[in-house]
Structure 1
Amino acid sequence: MKRTVLITGGHISPAIALIQELSRREDYSIHFIGRRYAFSEAKDRTSFEYETITSFSIPFTDLQSPRFPSRMSRKTMLFPFILLSKIITAAKILRKIRPGAVISFGGYISAPVVMAAWLLHIPVIMHEQTIAPGRANRMLSRYARSMCIAWEESRKYFPSSVQKRCILTGLPIRDEIRSLTKESLHTPNSQKTIYITGGSSGSHRINQVVLDVLPQMLKRYHIIHQCGDSHFHDYEKLIEKRASLPSDLKKQYEVYKYISLKQIASILHQADIMVGRSGANTIIEIALIAKPAILIPLPESAFNEQKKQADLLEKKGSAIICDQQTLTPDRLINTVDNLFKKLKYYQVNAQSYAHTEEISRHRMAHARLADSIDDCIRGRRNMVSESNNTDSGPDSDS
């Protein structure tokens, strides 16, 4: 009999890594709760998580959840009532699916699912990817049977009662990253290649700067750009910009809304450097494959987590940090030029860091997290079995 698990949360990359591992174990039936649409008001644009999860033929249930308010407003007064309605909806979904465990990868989207699971006595396993956990995971951690963490430093941010339940698993890494293929995209004229990304949802600020500096950069570099799909219509603007370029420069620029799982490994393998945000998944993935980077931390990230994560690689000498507030087209191209001038230095440092225990432990994080789920479900079944035996005792004696 297959074990049923339900996965939810806002961080899709580690969720994919776990799905890949559970699928190999064959005795799991997986369901996913997330956002079907990239924007609640735009029903014509499906989200990256929906496109990716359904590509595994995994049942996907749409659930829009309110963000935790950061300041008092009229919406703040409505928040408890909206959240309660979402918890009720999540409870109905859980009663129908009847999972043996709920696995949450954080974010506000997971809140009603985690709370509903706790109310229904379904064990919850949470995973925190960042060094400094966000508000949602700090609050929801009290409902978790196990709190899996990617960094030992994360433990201190949780309540003392939760710290005892923290398990250092590392951050699950997708198969495509852990075992890079030999296939790669063709690089025109064998020029130096830059992979620019703002994460799966893209970055409007980074896209703006790239748009302004694109012709100059393409004279020196081949650029692969993942820009996301936003209401700013950055993709359409970049496509229009590409169309206006001379034919020799046009060949130097590849732009995508999203990068598929099959593409990402070969792109990272091909790129000499990466330019992008410093989310937890990005930091660990480029550290594992020893890729020098220019990191632009998201200023609005909770507890300045992206800056803290970028600092890790900068201190190891494998990355340069660019502050978004001072990021200009000239600053970007100058930083890229300077990194390429010292590329060997950054590559050596990146390779040294990749072989440390701090980074190499993440290679097996997917298996350790799956083992925790095995133990949790097995333990729950034993508890149910013991309870049934206890309940049936008096009847058998009568």
Structure 2
Amino acid sequence: MSVHVVIAAAGTGGHIYPGLAVAQELRALDPQAAVTFLTTRRGLGPVLLRRYGEAFHVVAGEPAPARLSPAAAVFAAALARGSVEAAWRLRTLGARVVLATGGYGCAPAVAGARMVRIPVVWQEQNALPGRATRLMARWARAVALGFEEARNRLPAPVQARAVVTGNPVRRELLTVGREEGIRRLGLEAGLRTVLVVGASQGARRFNFAVVEAAEELAHLEGAQVLVSTGQSQFDEVEAALSARYPGGRRDSGGWRLGRLRVVPYVDDMPAAVAAADLAVSRAGAISIAEYTARGVPLILVPYPYAAEGHQQLNARAVERAGAGVVVPDGALTGSRLVEVIRELLMSPERLRAMAQASRRLGRPGAAEEVARLVLQAAGA
């Protein structure tokens, strides 16, 4: 009989994309396996799962408040309702195991799994396990960690069940060649490519730095720069660039000055990661996993308001491995951005060493490792 796996994934792309990556590997390992997602109405779950053609069900769920407040009662009521809904779904589907991809968005599915006695595998992306992991991973059959540093930050009983797998990335991020990536993005093949992506929704700090430094970024020796502003911030950034740099021009889907191209959103991240010789990024765990799986050197600017400062710890882990340079958010100005990029581009040996360290840090087989843990927990 084929195994039915339910993947609990809610909230941000950082929770959805690992689930999608593991679903790919589950089907590769067992073509008869059935996969269904459980998500909540809040966040990107329904949008991304429809885009990728995945079967899913929505259960009640609300974000967990950081402190006691009226929102705590709303969260508790939604958790109770969502847990009952999840338990009913799991029993109806005949699920054999639940993979939880982290965060309180998984709480209803984990609680529902306990109600119907289905094993849980928990996946933690960050170097600092979040509150949800520290609370709920104690109920998991196995815990897959993205960073070795996370192990000692787990409750003692959980550490014995923790396995460092790395963070799952989708297959398409591993299979696109550099030349194909350059072609798909309409970039120049003979130049090194610097990718600047603050976040899927944009990062104002990154965008202000790009506006300030556009002239220098547009004329970096031997390099081209591709910037994603985030859809919601593009019009503001384009207006600022056009006012400041009359030599720039609007082109199809973006704005261009010399060898600098600014776009609202990079739809084709597999091509972008494949094309990148250097990336400037926030320090989200899945972003780091995608870049290091391809051996891309990193300039990391941790988001200062990330829960419990986990992006800072992610970034420092990459820096210790020799794969990245960390720039504090408050220090990211246009001049500092150009300084760090230029320093690395003008040091080919250092950049090559960072690429090798990034490749060593990357875990391109993480999705398969997690999928095997899931099947093992299911007894398949």
Please report the TM-score for the alignment, with normalisation by the length of structure 1. 0.80
Greater mean deviation of Cα atoms: 116-125 or 324-333: 324-333
Contact 1:294 1:321 in 2 (8 A): yes
Equivalent residues in 2 for 1:18-97, closer than 5 Å: 18-24=22-28, 25-35=30-40, 38=43, 47=44, 49-63=45-59, 65-97=61-93
The correspondence for 2:265, drawn from 257, 265, 271, is 257
The correspondence for 1:183, drawn from 180, 186, 205, is 180
Contact 2:322 2:357 in 1 (8 A): no
| Equivalent residue, structure 2, for 1:209 | 209
In structure 1, C-alpha distance between the alignment counterparts of 2:27 and 2:51, rounded to whole Å: 13
AA aligned opposite 1:164:
A
| Equivalent residue, structure 2, for 1:392 | none
Contact 1:238 1:255 in 2 (8 A): no
Query: How far is 1:148 from its partner?
Result: 1.9
Deviations 1:185-241 (A, max 9, x none): 232484442211133343343234334443442243533233444xxx213334555
| Equivalent residue, structure 2, for 1:16 | 20
Equivalent residues in 2 for 1:347-366, closer than 5 Å: 347-352=352-357, 354-355=359-360, 359=361, 362-366=363-367
| Equivalent residue, structure 1, for 2:2 | 2
- What secondary structure, in the 3-state scheme, does the structure 1 residue paired with 2:126 have? coil
Greater mean deviation of Cα atoms: 369-378 or 163-172: 163-172
In structure 2, C-alpha distance between the alignment counterparts of 1:71 and 1:235, rounded to whole Å: 34
Deviations 1:252-303 (A, max 9, x none): 31414353xxx32322222221001112222233233222221001112233
In structure 2, C-alpha distance between the alignment counterparts of 1:238 and 1:61, rounded to whole Å: 38
Contact 1:188 1:252 in 2 (8 A): no
Equivalent residues in 2 for 1:378-389, closer than 5 Å: 378=379
- What secondary structure, in the 3-state scheme, does the structure 1 residue paired with 2:304 have? coil
Contact 2:4 2:97 in 1 (8 A): yes
- 1:211–1:183 Cα change, 3 Å: same
Contact 1:316 1:350 in 2 (8 A): no
In structure 2, C-alpha distance between the alignment counterparts of 1:203 and 1:376, rounded to whole Å: 39
- What secondary structure, in the 3-state scheme, does the structure 2 residue paired with 1:311 have? helix
Contact 1:235 1:256 in 2 (8 A): yes
Query: How far is 1:31 from its partner?
Result: 1.1
AA aligned opposite 2:263:
V
- 1:238–1:71 Cα change, 3 Å: same
Contact 1:196 1:224 in 2 (8 A): yes
- 1:168–1:12 Cα change, 3 Å: same
In structure 2, C-alpha distance between the alignment counterparts of 1:91 and 1:103, rounded to whole Å: 14
- Please, which runs of 5 or more residues in structure 1 have no aligned partner? 39-46, 380-398
| Equivalent residue, structure 1, for 2:194 | 194
Contact 1:176 1:264 in 2 (8 A): no
Contact 1:317 1:346 in 2 (8 A): no
Query: How far is 1:166 from its partner?
Result: 1.9
In structure 2, C-alpha distance between the alignment counterparts of 1:189 and 1:219, rounded to whole Å: 16
Aligned length: 360
- What secondary structure, in the 3-state scheme, does the structure 2 residue paired with 1:30 have? strand
- Please, which runs of 5 or more residues in structure 2 have no aligned partner? 250-255
- What secondary structure, in the 3-state scheme, does the structure 2 residue paired with 1:378 have? coil
- 1:346–1:118 Cα change, 3 Å: same
| Equivalent residue, structure 1, for 2:370 | 369
Query: How far is 1:149 from its partner?
Result: 1.9
Please report the TM-score for the alignment, with normalisation by the length of structure 2. 0.84
| Equivalent residue, structure 2, for 1:144 | 140
Percentage identity across paired residues of the two chains: 26
- 1:272–1:349 Cα change, 3 Å: closer
Deviations 1:80-128 (A, max 9, x none): 2232233233334334333211111101211111111111212111111
- 1:315–1:165 Cα change, 3 Å: closer
AA aligned opposite 2:21:
A
AA aligned opposite 1:223:
V
| Equivalent residue, structure 1, for 2:234 | 235
In structure 1, C-alpha distance between the alignment counterparts of 2:71 and 2:80, rounded to whole Å: 14
In structure 2, C-alpha distance between the alignment counterparts of 1:122 and 1:26, rounded to whole Å: 22
